Amino acid sequence: MMPQQTIDLLEYYCDKYNRKSFIQDDPILIPHRYTRAQDIEIAGFFAATLAWGNRKSIINSCNRLMEWMDNDPYRFVLHHTPKERKPFEKFVHRTFNATDVLYFIHFLQHHYAKHNSLEILFAADDMETGLQQFRQAFFALEEAPQRTRKHVSSPANKSTCKRLNMYLRWMVRKDRRGVDFGIWKTIKPAQLLMPLDVHVENYARQLRLIQRKQRDWLTVCELTANLKQIDAKDPVRFDYALFGMGIEKAIV
Q: Quick one: pLDDT band at residue 115, thresholds 50, 70, 90?
A: very high
Dihedrals phi, psi of 92, to nearest 5 degrees: -145, 130
Structural domain containing residue 52:
4-248
Provide the percentage of residues in the chain whose pLDDT is more than 70: 100
Q: Residue 26 pLDDT more than 90?
A: yes
Q: Quick one: pLDDT band at residue 220, thresholds 50, 70, 90?
A: very high
- Burial track 177-204 (b if 16+ CB lie within 10 A, e otherwise): bebbbebbeebebebbbbbbbeebbebb
Q: Quick one: pLDDT band at residue 251, thresholds 50, 70, 90?
A: confident
CA dihedral sign of residues 138, 182, 68, 64:
negative
**In the predicted model, what is the mean pLDDT of the chain?**
97
What is the average per-residue pLDDT within 100-112? 98
Number of domains present in the structure of the chain:
1
Q: Residue 172 pLDDT more than 90?
A: yes
pLDDT tens readout for residues 130-145: 999 999 999 999 999 9
